[in-house]
Structure 1
Amino acid sequence: MNLPSTGETRISPLNLVLLCVTYLLYFGQLGVLVPYLGIFLDGRGYSSEQIGELFAIITLARILGPSLWASIADKSGKTLRVLQLGCVLTVCSFATIFWQDTFWGLAFSFGMMMMFWTAVLPQLEVITMQSVKLAGSNYGTIRLWGSIGFIILTIAVGKALDYFTTEVPIYASMFTLTALMVSTFFLTQPATSKRTNEQSGDFWKVIKHPAFIVFILSATLLQVSFGTYYGFFTLYLRDLGYSGQQTGLLIALGVVAEVVIFMYAQKLLNRYSVSSLLVLSGVLTALRWYALGAWGSHATVVIVSQLLHAFSFGLTHAASVHFIHHRLPAHFHSRGQAIYISVAFGLGGASGNYIAGQIWQQGTNAYLSFSFSATLALLSAFVFGIFSFKKWQSA
């Protein structure tokens, strides 16, 4: 897509700063929700099966939101307006949680919040990629602020849980989501050229390409493997005797590793293929899950496993965004990101949460659950590796 070389396309340093702030708040919320939702639900008296089921229900909402909103954004070109509306609806739906005290009431409130909240990210990624291209900046330097936000909120909420009730996560979430909404009101979207007939095309034909299908399948399997970690990692560490502050610091350590990899991601992508990086990340993730399940009582093992988060999420995400941005035409970027988020993180994440909840059994099957996750991560690497090998042989 060619961009007009007019003053309208210039990106101010302030807008880049605002993008950093938006990432910080968006993933800061992730730092509250992912590690501590299980603690919140456990405090409400729900069993591991119910926690897994509720995680699955709200994660399924990630399938609905992204594709719907991304289609509107791609067709209208008003990506920023869609992002802002998503943030407003996220705050409104999350606020209803304070009046819910039943399983299905919480599932509805969290599900609605998740449907709108996850719809925000594809638009944010598109605006960021457009902005850094025009500003001559680097995606990784913007995205790493999301990791910093995750670290700050994870440590803060983990510390607060040592002193206050298990209701802390929902109050922290309300504050963070409101701040996120406000930050998006000050963003600007780069002006892009109008669509032409040559830019039109069949989106479904594009995403049915074998490379994209294999990419989505591999990404989905990897996210299924995250089910045990996302749903039960904090409860697992608590059962092993780790304090809330130690748990927060360990989660933050993983994100610090993620920040470091984001700083070098572009260099790695310039030097190595997306396939080789995704295969490597899948294998290291499998080792991470198995080590956690087998030797989680050893702090050194947990520390090393958290450092591998650099590959499990950081490098995987950077390579995936790079893949979509370069594989798909520009006018399909929002929908491509949405398919990635809704299928891999939505369907894959929901499946992983549900299965982990059925296996976990209040922690008695922790080893089995993490071993299952390790198998799925290895399968993810295998799928992408076999496809890349066949493609190389046929070349």
Structure 2
Amino acid sequence: MTPAPTIDGRRAGRRLALFVALVFATVGVYLPYWPLWLADRGLDEPAIGLLLALGVSMRVLVGPLLARAADRRGAHARLLGLLSLGVLLGYIAHLAATTFTALVVLALVCGAFWAAIMPICDSLVLLHAGVHDLDYGRIRRWGSVAFLVTTLSAGFILRGRSPSLVLWLILTPLALMVVAAPLLPSPPRSDRRAAPRPISALLRLPWLVIFCGASALVYASHGVLYGFATIHWRSLGISEDRIGLLWTSGVLAEIALFSVGARLLTRLRPLQLALLAALASVVRWLGLATVTAFAGLLALQSLHALSFGAIHLAAMAYLHRSLPPESSATAQSLFAAATSGLGFAGGFFAAGALYGRHGGDAYLTMAALAGAAALILVVVDRRWPAPRL
């Protein structure tokens, strides 16, 4: 039986859960509704896809460097506060952006500040989970709850109103992130004794590179969903509040997954869970390419628990079990660079071109990407089921 968290552990868990919730409250507005704000400014699908791709590409260029700085200095909370402030100021600047060039610059700036926020936060949660017997999945589920609440609320707020409100809905949780960051606990002292591994040393681990590459394909396969699902569903005659329900139904399933994540990982190896995520992605994208009825879409969206939630949970467990704690944030950022960076950037860029030409049939390409990821994960599971550095 897992010991109960100490008083200090419970306090750390609450503060970490609060910050995670605010991060995903921001994402809960950005992912479904930021494309509407951009479309309202007169941008077409390829331009929207480009801006989304530019933002997440900064996770490749900037994220690992910032995360390594957090590992070296143990200044996770301070760095998260500065990065949150940078993102907030970047989105405030959108109020004055009147040209496409300005939007490109701001996408890069906001993407750079956002690049390491989630990897550093994940690292901090995992470090405290190891010391205070906290359950990563139970803390992370508060992010899913916040995503659900903000997505659903934003859908109701935006119904019949101008998409220009989307920017203000993003600024609110960003401001609260700036306030909450100083309350975050520092990394446990025991996890900061050894020097972190260089980024180059981690990149020489074949299992890490191949696993991150396969995961990147799963993330990339979400490109059409995150970039154009809201626009596609509107074209099917689905109202904004029902679109909010479609997004939140997936997150409800994700919350359930994170609630039982620790128990699930006692029955399945992390790589087995990752393979299940890739296969569920194939089913989800094939369904979204053909189903137009609201009830059917609602059922398919519940697969979000596996297509996204399971791959994230599997990766956190695989990396945490395989790598030393002093390299935690750096490893998380490399995974984020591959998945949320290269994966999402490639997925968004391809989605912009594919959806502009083929509409909902663009999901078929996404299914092919997820299928390729499944094949690679089978190989990784056979060669490196439980590596240790």
Alignment of structure 1 residues 92-131 onto 2, 5 Å: 92-131=89-128
Alignment of structure 1 residues 31-42 onto 2, 5 Å: 31-42=28-39
Deviation at 1:346, TM superposition (A): 0.7
Deviation at 1:75, TM superposition (A): 1.4
Deviation at 1:241, TM superposition (A): 0.7
Show the counterpart of 1:252: 248
Alignment of structure 1 residues 29-108 onto 2, 5 Å: 29-108=26-105
Alignment of structure 1 residues 2-13 onto 2, 5 Å: 11-13=8-10
DSSP-derived class of the 2:211 partner: helix
Contact 1:11 1:134 in 2 (8 A): no
DSSP-derived class of the 2:184 partner: coil
DSSP-derived class of the 1:45 partner: coil
Separation (CA, whole Å) in 2 of partners of 1:375 and 1:194:
41
Contact 2:67 2:329 in 1 (8 A): yes
Deviation at 1:194, TM superposition (A): 7.3
Which of 295, 304, 307 aligns to 1:300? It is 295
Q: Return the letter of the residue paired with 1:61.
A: M
Which of 352, 367, 377 aligns to 1:384? It is 377
Separation (CA, whole Å) in 2 of partners of 1:375 and 1:39:
27
Q: Return the letter of the residue paired with 1:312.
A: S
Which of 343, 362, 365 aligns to 1:369? It is 362
Deviation at 1:357, TM superposition (A): 0.6
Q: Return the letter of the residue paired with 1:308.
A: L
Which of 142, 145, 148 aligns to 2:142? It is 145
Cα RMSD of the aligned pairs, angstroms, is 1.8
Q: Return the letter of the residue paired with 2:269.
A: S
Show the counterpart of 2:308: 313
Separation (CA, whole Å) in 2 of partners of 1:23 and 1:267:
22
Alignment of structure 1 residues 162-177 onto 2, 5 Å: 162-177=159-174
Q: Return the letter of the residue paired with 1:163.
A: G
Deviation at 1:203, TM superposition (A): 4.2
Separation (CA, whole Å) in 1 of partners of 2:303 and 2:288:
11
Separation (CA, whole Å) in 2 of partners of 1:36 and 1:278:
28
Show the counterpart of 1:216: 212
Separation (CA, whole Å) in 1 of partners of 2:248 and 2:191:
43
> 1:239 and 2:232 equivalent?
no
Deviation at 1:251, TM superposition (A): 0.1
> 1:323 and 2:318 equivalent?
yes
Show the counterpart of 2:155: 158
Contact 2:56 2:115 in 1 (8 A): no
> 1:269 and 2:257 equivalent?
no
1:322-347 C-alpha deviation (Å, 9 max, x unpaired): 11111111111111000111121111
Which of 221, 226, 231 aligns to 1:230? It is 226
TM-score of the superposed pair, with normalisation by structure 1: 0.92
TM-score of the superposed pair, with normalisation by structure 2: 0.93
Separation (CA, whole Å) in 1 of partners of 2:216 and 2:257:
22
Q: Which runs of 5+ in 2 are unaligned?
A: 1-5
Contact 2:196 2:327 in 1 (8 A): no
Contact 2:28 2:147 in 1 (8 A): yes
DSSP-derived class of the 1:246 partner: helix
Number of aligned residue pairs: give it: 380
Separation (CA, whole Å) in 2 of partners of 1:21 and 1:195:
24
Stretch moving more, 46-55 or 204-213: 204-213
Deviation at 1:230, TM superposition (A): 0.8
Show the counterpart of 1:3: none
The 1:97–1:250 alpha-carbon spacing in structure 2 relative to 1, beyond 3 Å, is same
1:266-303 C-alpha deviation (Å, 9 max, x unpaired): 111111111111111101111101110111x1223211
Contact 2:78 2:181 in 1 (8 A): no
Contact 2:25 2:146 in 1 (8 A): yes
